[in-house]
Structure 1
């Protein structure tokens, strides 16, 4: 299918972070772009300000005629949209050109040199690092990122028509099997989305199939721990990376005042790199991104400058407040391994301070599968306020609640708190380091909490 032949593109679920990036890409290419989403958010408001039409009720009669012209409109939808959605049902029944988001991304990747970053966690930060380095260089790139890059205040970078494309390889719904990667990175392979895969082995096999998409002349890079899980499915040569581990390494790592300094060792050696986004996992992400940039011929000094100027992704170890009496950090972590890595980094940076965590579980299925892992990870905090499960696309599962996690924890200071009561709880709590963790709508609490403490300090 030729994407250029369509005059208009309509997105069912336009407010998703991945969907909105593709919507912006089409808009910048001169297409008429519109769509539906369930609720108005800061992101959908930004889309509207950019000239993209968005509405918030599933009513076909509200959709303008230009998006109901079967021959000239492309319909893009996300699997997060239920099959009962009236607009989507209409477009499918009337045999419009209807594609999943992953299929559109696959078509885009097919026409460019593609760097695809997969993994159950780490893919957003790593792909944004690759994009930032390439943007910083003469190569340039287009990039579709699953988060808002702080350097650009966007989830999209638009490069020249022949520039490389950087994409996230999303394992949900096996979306990454539709990509055409020349350079593939896998950051992690931990059990997740078992509602889709059934068991961990099928998920590992799916990652193997993704890596098999890389041509023999391409480049495959896998975190050394992930490689142990998928190497039986790999056919072509691959390389590994890590901190003091693998074919490509960060060495001489030291953290000083929240900045991580390290040397990169691989086909080249780059000394005294400085990364201002904290976290051991982010150093590993940087190793993967640097390796991709070297494969694309980016000079060492350019890479060094780009890593030093990289500011991260919104909601990935994002500092909200740095006051004398309170540090507040927000993170998107929603899998036990992510939470463990995040809290480990926080504890290493503030070893003598009390850490208070607010966590919102994401999905009933994920909570049911990993409640013990969540409990073990959250036990690293000194105090935990647990919110109710954010359902996203799911219906409630009988007996599956946030209390399942609390019941498995050892941390004595823990309790279930309603979102509307969280400010009162925090006001009556002695805080040193506060962290909010989760992928649901906990992000809406972040500015409320931040403003509360800013006003209290003024």
Structure 2
């Protein structure tokens, strides 16, 4: 299929972060883009401002006539997050339209480019964004399809120079629904391999087989950068036709030394058998983000960037929206928002926040994401949240799922060991916070908890003015 010859592409779930990057790419090359999503969002508003036609009604009347009248020159891109009873999805299936999953289209776009694919249960968005920024700031011809909005480019899509030297592309390799098996990686990164998406894989064993299958896509002479915990868990043999580089904060051939946690930044030394770069500054805090930086720096060195280019690029990396995003940092109040939605992500995030503000009370507001994930990892959620001095739980965000009997946010309460813990509604949260003693506040979750960020910021700023 010649993607550039299409006259129309219609997206089902266009507001998703990965889908919207593809929509932007098609829009950039001059293909008419339309789409459906369940609810409006700031991202869908941006897509509409860029000229895309988006509807929030799941019916055929909202689909552009050009799509419906010429199925041969139209493409329907869909995500498994779309419900199986979707009116549009079933119409396109029943009427012979060409349907492709997001990952299939991403694989087709990138198949002719040198591909750096970043996989992992956690860390792939930040790591892929770091890699793209380091290479682009170092003057390399880079494209990137990312799973988050980078603060440096205010986009989830970075376009390469089609007239320049041969381009490389950085892509986020999503394990959900085994999507990453549609890619053609020349360089692979595996940041982590913890159990997740058990509604798709069934059990941890099948999920690990998925990661091994992704790694096996590497060609002879390819490079695998893998966190030492994932390396041990997956049992990857180093006697493979690709080069394996193991990294980690305190273990592996690539390591971080002399890590110093500071409000707003982490400092560390990059150490490998081939290079040492001292006192690097990472303004996207977190011990886990230091580890993500190790993989990004290693790839940048392989691409020929100098130590000074890497130092400058890392220091100028502003981070990714909703990944350790510091909104307010004052002497008497701090507010940070993070996308963490797995127990290990929450553990890494809260541990880093405590290291940055060791003498302050930490209040965590968490919105669980998916009924199945809450059920499968209930004890892990409770244990990781217990790192906070106070935990406030919101209702589960269902996303693509229907409720499961007996599965609610309250099932996490008994095992949370924090001195204070409570259940609140989204509507009642702000009133509670106004009466509470807040020193360091964090909001955590992958659902719609981000809708609370602006009201919290506005309240904190008003409170600051009143003081």
Secondary structure, in 3 states, of the residue corresponding to 2:72?
coil
**Is 2:252 the partner of 1:241?**
no
**What is the 5 A alignment of 1:48-63?**
48-63=48-63
Q: Which residue of 2 aligns with 1:339?
A: 346
> Please, which of 424, 442, 450 is the counterpart of residue 417 of structure 1?
424
* Distance in 1 (alpha carbons) for counterparts of 2:49 and 2:96: 31
**Is 2:268 the partner of 1:262?**
yes
Secondary structure, in 3 states, of the residue corresponding to 2:377?
helix
* Distance in 1 (alpha carbons) for counterparts of 2:100 and 2:31: 17
* Distance in 2 (alpha carbons) for counterparts of 1:141 and 1:332: 26
Q: Is contact 1:12-1:81 (8 Å) kept?
A: yes
Q: Is contact 1:205-1:233 (8 Å) kept?
A: no
Taking structure 2 as the reference length, what is the TM-score of the superposition?
0.96
Secondary structure, in 3 states, of the residue corresponding to 1:60?
coil
Higher mean C-alpha displacement, 181-190 vs 293-302:
293-302
Q: Which residue of 1 aligns with 2:21?
A: 21
**Is 2:214 the partner of 1:210?**
yes
Secondary structure, in 3 states, of the residue corresponding to 1:82?
coil
* Structure 2: runs of 5 or more not aligned: none
* Distance in 1 (alpha carbons) for counterparts of 2:90 and 2:104: 18
Taking structure 1 as the reference length, what is the TM-score of the superposition?
0.98
**Is 2:335 the partner of 1:328?**
yes
> Please, which of 355, 359, 370 is the counterpart of residue 363 of structure 1?
370
**What's the RMSD between the two structures over aligned residues?**
1.2
**What is the 5 A alignment of 1:307-318?**
307-318=314-325
* Distance in 2 (alpha carbons) for counterparts of 1:296 and 1:418: 49
Q: Which residue of 2 aligns with 1:160?
A: 161
Q: Is contact 2:151-2:318 (8 Å) kept?
A: yes
**1:334-378, Cα deviation, whole Å (9 max, x unpaired):** 000000000000001111110001000000000000010000000
CA positional deviation for 1:232: 4.4
Secondary structure, in 3 states, of the residue corresponding to 1:284?
helix
**1:179-202, Cα deviation, whole Å (9 max, x unpaired):** 000000000011100111111111
Q: Which residue of 2 aligns with 1:85?
A: 86
**What is the 5 A alignment of 1:51-200?**
51-68=51-68, 69-161=70-162, 162-200=166-204
Secondary structure, in 3 states, of the residue corresponding to 2:71?
coil
Q: Is contact 1:109-1:181 (8 Å) kept?
A: no
Higher mean C-alpha displacement, 188-197 vs 159-168:
159-168
Q: Which residue of 1 aligns with 2:31?
A: 31
**1:313-338, Cα deviation, whole Å (9 max, x unpaired):** 01111111123321000000000000
**Is 2:408 the partner of 1:407?**
no
**What is the 5 A alignment of 1:271-310?**
271-310=278-317
Higher mean C-alpha displacement, 290-299 vs 384-393:
290-299
Higher mean C-alpha displacement, 110-119 vs 294-303:
294-303
Higher mean C-alpha displacement, 347-356 vs 3-12:
3-12
Higher mean C-alpha displacement, 175-184 vs 314-323:
314-323
Q: Is contact 1:34-1:52 (8 Å) kept?
A: yes
**Is 2:228 the partner of 1:221?**
no
Higher mean C-alpha displacement, 319-328 vs 174-183:
319-328
Secondary structure, in 3 states, of the residue corresponding to 1:238?
strand
CA positional deviation for 1:233: 7.1
* Distance in 2 (alpha carbons) for counterparts of 1:299 and 1:410: 47
Structure 1 residues 325 and 252, CA gap change in structure 2 (3 angstroms): closer
Q: Is contact 2:343-2:384 (8 Å) kept?
A: yes
